[in-house]
């Protein structure tokens, strides 16, 4: 039967009296709470003390601030004056609507009035609710102090129990997160193995103290010998996380704006509603401040006419080397520098830099010659605007003084590369010709430590530089260039790899940067310096066709070619290796080993890892299904002084003798164990064979069968069937052709 409406009652016929229904329960739930009269009032605390005479001046000053968020008048401000003719340092203010009052609380609370006074703005109803008599206990009850509990040593891993100074790494495969000791050639020694430890990826903190796991509810930090949870940062739907270099603070980011539920949130407050970034104090686990995404109107549109979403820049909040400042770029207009731990804007204003495209903090506290005061530096660049040239600037914080600028022309793009100790800054400038048809790159190298920050230009490069990397703690660099920059195609562009180092000079100081050598016709696209310098891997990653890795030594101990005698490097290709489908290359923090891996995040072919030593000798190779991530555990900076380090380096021979002996002993005992194991296996096998052969023999005898089951039948069938097979072999010794005339 087709559905019909016949059986439905006609709404017209339906008679019922609305008054008869009892709506009281619904009314209670949904009745609009009428604004009460006091909702438009706010209370301002933290005002300076004034007298009747100076009061109007203050009110006038206040009004300017108050009117920024809503409407109020002079006579709506009530500032009680005490018997002694002095004000009580607070005032009542009436706004025209409750919404304005609320806005005032949100935006004016905590705003500094001058150096000594900071406004505290609260709703009158809140003061009434929280501060009314009886709500606060008149008697002081001391807070209960929790018994001190010894925490686990977070750096215990540095003392390798085997005494070999091994490094740890984390491996994330399928849904398992495992941490291992690296055992070089032997299978790594497992330390901890947990299923579903993280939901998207794992990350070490910059000094290796914590292992970060990502969850829908937020971020968790793990550490200590028993891998217990150390901290939790409840940022719902968090996508990315970034630590400050000193592990004091943490930035979390989610592409979903935070929405605080009605019943509240354990860590975040209503003020964080709608924000995307949260900056946390790791020690206390408390949020310091939250920020929303900066949505820049994109000037490009995609095919459907929709503005193309810009890729998020990560990290958006960049940390200074000493954890004291964090800064964010608003592209094209300004850089906002915040001071920690209060997270207030430095000098209460952003730094306006017209057109600013990018900035980068010095990765270490800089030491400029002749500058005694404490400073942090960052560099930034601005493109050509109108007839003004493009600029690269160096700004000193907290003075905000621009200590060096450099004008540049015909700039398409610039990239900022700091050397790890902030001794040099290389600005890679892509320049276009006048016709804008061809590109060329020049390298502008700022020598930060020298007087007046001189700039050296390397402009002998004809091609486009696609990659640049400084030697960590050194003064040499590697670049990869390509003649044509084409859109991504199946065939990767041919690239060249060039090495540079400073010239030898007499006395202290660093000579000019000179080209050492170029290797042509490569596919390489990535540079991986050893964290200790000297060794560098040039590799092709994320490629479908080539997977080669070349291990170079910059201080080869062999003979130096004549042409390089003035250079501070002796370049030598030590080894080449190939790892099919390699996606990631990671040096261990000591620069002894390199892990190369093929992650399922990029492709599904031959996922797994290889392990090499710094010379490029392969130590291990292990295919791992659903391999995702390999990360070496970073190490904190050494506690030894420069002198102590020098001492060790001097006596290295003696130390290495001991270590080599240990290695040899361990190797020998391991070999012995293997041999012993094999011997046992062989003996077991032999004895089993002997017993089973005996058993079968007996059984055959018992059944009256010949020892060889075939003896009988073969005799039967082959009797008299012997044949003589003749084979005629013809061999041509010589062939001659004679022409008879």
Partner 1 sequence: MRPTLLQGHERALTQIKYNRDGDIIFSTAKDQHICAWFSHNGERLGTYHGHQGAIWTVDVDPTSTMIASGAADNTVRLWDIKTGKCLKVWDFNTAVKRVEFNEDGSKLLAVTEMRMGFLGTIVVLDINLDVEAEQSNEKVMTITCEESKAIVAGWSYLSKYIIAGHEDGTVSQYDAKTGEQLDNVKVHDLDITDLQWAPDRTYFITASKDKTAKLINTRDLEVMKTYVADTPLNSASITPKKDFVILGGGQAAMDVTTTSTRQGKFEARFYHKIFEEEIGRVRGHFGPLNTVAVDPTGKGYASGGEDGYVRVHQFDKGYFDFTYEVERQARQQQQQQQM
Residues that bind partner 1 (CB under 8 A): 580, 605-606, 623, 675, 678-679, 681-683, 685-686, 688, 692-693, 696, 699-700, 703, 705, 709-710, 712-714, 717-718
Choose between 435 and 723: whose C-beta lies nearer to partner 1.
723
Locate 336 and state its tokens. Answer: 């906002």
Place of tokens 């040499």: 476
Choose between 3 and 704: whose C-beta lies nearer to partner 1.
704
Choose between 454 and 623: whose C-beta lies nearer to partner 1.
623
The CB-of-607 to partner 1 minimum distance in angstroms stands at 10
Choose between 523 and 570: whose C-beta lies nearer to partner 1.
523
CA quadruple 662, 668, 669, 674: dihedral, nearest 10: 150
Locate 50 and state its tokens. Answer: 């004034």
Choose between 559 and 730: whose C-beta lies nearer to partner 1.
730
The CB-of-191 to partner 1 minimum distance in angstroms stands at 24
The CB-of-9 to partner 1 minimum distance in angstroms stands at 58
The CB-of-604 to partner 1 minimum distance in angstroms stands at 8
Locate 118 and state its tokens. Answer: 């900071």
Choose between 73 and 679: whose C-beta lies nearer to partner 1.
679
Strand pairing class (572-578; 548-553): antiparallel
| Strand order across the 228-233 sheet | 202-204, 211-215, 218-223, 228-233
Choose between 502 and 608: whose C-beta lies nearer to partner 1.
608
| Contacts for 460 with CB less than 8 Å, ≥ 6 apart | 515
The CB-of-611 to partner 1 minimum distance in angstroms stands at 17
Choose between 388 and 604: whose C-beta lies nearer to partner 1.
604
Choose between 457 and 681: whose C-beta lies nearer to partner 1.
681
- In the Cβ-directed half-sphere of 381, how many Cα atoms lie within 13 Å? 24
Locate 723 and state its tokens. Answer: 């044949």
| CA atoms of 242 and 650, how far apart (whole Å) | 38
Q: Sign of the C-alpha dihedral, residues 688, 690, 691, 694?
A: positive
Choose between 27 and 703: whose C-beta lies nearer to partner 1.
703
**Closest to 420 measured CA to CA, from 321, 296, 513, 507:** 321
The CB-of-549 to partner 1 minimum distance in angstroms stands at 17
The CB-of-682 to partner 1 minimum distance in angstroms stands at 6
| CA atoms of 467 and 426, how far apart (whole Å) | 12
Choose between 130 and 580: whose C-beta lies nearer to partner 1.
580
- Identify the three-state secondary structure at position 84: coil
The continuous run of DSSP H or E covering 661 comes out as helix 652-703
The CB-of-521 to partner 1 minimum distance in angstroms stands at 23
The CB-of-602 to partner 1 minimum distance in angstroms stands at 14
The CB-of-693 to partner 1 minimum distance in angstroms stands at 7
The CB-of-606 to partner 1 minimum distance in angstroms stands at 6
Paired residues of 231 in beta bridges: 221
**What's CA 152's distance to the chain center, in Å?**
26
Place of tokens 């740890």: 168
DSSP output for 255-314: SSPP---TT--SS--GGGTT--EEEEETTT--EEEEE----PPPS-B-TTSPBPPPPPPS
Place of tokens 């949130």: 265
Place of tokens 């964010």: 328
**24 phi/psi in degrees, rounded to 5:** -60, -40
| CA atoms of 313 and 242, how far apart (whole Å) | 12
Q: What is the DSSP letter of 666?
A: H
């Amino acid at each position: 039967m087709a559905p019909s409406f016949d059986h439905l009652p006609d709404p017209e016929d339906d008679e019922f009296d609305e008054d008869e229904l009892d709506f009281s329960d619904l009314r209670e739930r949904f009745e609009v709470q009428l604004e009460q009269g006091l909702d438009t009032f706010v209370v301002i605390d933290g005002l300076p003390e004034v007298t009747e005479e100076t009061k109007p001046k203050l009110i006038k000053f206040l009004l300017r601030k108050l009117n920024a968020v809503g409407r109020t008048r002079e006579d709506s401000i009530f500032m009680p004056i005490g018997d002694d003719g002095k004000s009580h340092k607070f005032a009542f203010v009436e706004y025209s609507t409750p919404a304005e009052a609320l806005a005032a609380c949100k935006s004016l609370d905590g705003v500094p009035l001058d150096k000594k006074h900071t406004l505290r703005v609260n709703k009158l109803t809140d003061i009434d609710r929280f501060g009314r008599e009886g709500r606060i206990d008149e008697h002081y009850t001391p807070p209960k102090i929790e018994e001190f509990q010894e925490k686990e040593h977070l750096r215990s891993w540095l003392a390798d129990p085997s005494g070999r100074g091994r490094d740890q790494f984390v491996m994330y495969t399928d849904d398992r997160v495992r941490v291992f000791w690296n055992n070089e050639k032997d299978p790594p020694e497992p330390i901890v193995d947990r299923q579903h430890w993280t939901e998207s990826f794992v990350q070490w903190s910059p000094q290796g103290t914590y292992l970060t796991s990502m969850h829908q509810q937020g971020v968790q930090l793990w550490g200590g010998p028993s891998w217990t949870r150390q901290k939790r940062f409840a940022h719902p739907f968090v996508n990315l996380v970034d630590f400050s270099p000193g592990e004091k603070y943490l930035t979390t980011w989610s592409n979903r704006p935070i929405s605080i539920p009605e019943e509240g949130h354990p860590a975040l407050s209503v003020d964080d509603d709608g924000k995307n970034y949260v900056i946390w104090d790791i020690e206390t686990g408390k949020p310091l401040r939250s920020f929303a995404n900066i949505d820049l109107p994109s000037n490009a549109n995609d095919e459907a006419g929709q503005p193309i979403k810009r890729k998020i820049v990560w990290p958006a909040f960049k940390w200074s080397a000493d954890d004291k400042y964090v800064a964010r770029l608003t592209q094209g207009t300004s850089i906002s520098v915040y001071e920690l731990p209060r997270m207030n804007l430095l000098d209460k204003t952003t730094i306006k830099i017209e057109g600013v495209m990018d900035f980068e903090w010095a990765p270490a506290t800089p030491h400029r010659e002749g500058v005694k005061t404490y400073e942090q530096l960052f560099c930034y660049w601005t493109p050509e605007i109108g007839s003004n040239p493009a600029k690269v600037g160096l700004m000193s914080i907290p003075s905000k003084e621009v200590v060096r600028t450099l004008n540049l022309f015909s700039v398409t793009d610039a990239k900022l590369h700091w050397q790890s100790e902030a001794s040099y800054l290389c600005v890679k400038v892509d320049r276009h010709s006048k016709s804008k048809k061809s590109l060329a790159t020049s390298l502008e190298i700022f020598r930060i430590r020298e007087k007046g920050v001189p700039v050296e230009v390397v402009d002998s490069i004809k091609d486009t530089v696609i990659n640049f990397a400084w030697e960590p703690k050194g003064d040499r660099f590697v670049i990869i260039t390509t003649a044509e920059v084409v859109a991504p195609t199946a065939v990767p562009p041919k690239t060249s790899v060039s090495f540079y180092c400073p010239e030898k000079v007499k006395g202290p100081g660093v000579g000019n940067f000179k080209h050492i050598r170029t290797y042509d016709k490569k596919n390489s696209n990535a540079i991986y310096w050893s964290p200790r310098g000297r060794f560098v891997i040039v590799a092709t990653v994320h490629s479908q066709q080539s997977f080669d890795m070349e291990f170079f030594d910059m201080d080869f101990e062999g003979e130096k070619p004549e042409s390089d005698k003035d250079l501070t490097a002796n370049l030598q290709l030590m080894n080449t290796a190939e790892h099919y489908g390699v996606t990631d290359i990671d040096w261990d923090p000591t620069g002894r080993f390199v892990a190369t891996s093929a992650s399922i995040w990029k492709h599904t072919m031959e996922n797994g890892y290889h392990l090499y030593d710094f010379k490029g000798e392969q130590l291990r190779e292990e295919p791992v299904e659903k391999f995702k991530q390999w990360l070496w555990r970073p190490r904190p900076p050494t506690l030894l002084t420069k002198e102590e380090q020098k001492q060790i380096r001097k006596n290295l021979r003696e130390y290495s003798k001991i270590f080599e002996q240990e290695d040899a002993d361990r190797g020998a005992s391991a070999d012995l164990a293997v041999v012993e194991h094999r011997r046992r296996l062989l003996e077991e096998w032999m004895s089993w064979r002997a017993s089973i052969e005996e058993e079968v023999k007996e059984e055959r005898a018992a059944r009256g069968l010949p020892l060889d089951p075939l003896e009988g039948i073969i005799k039967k069938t082959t009797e008299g069937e012997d044949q003589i097979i003749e084979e005629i072999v013809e061999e041509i010794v010589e062939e001659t052709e004679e022409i008879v005339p």
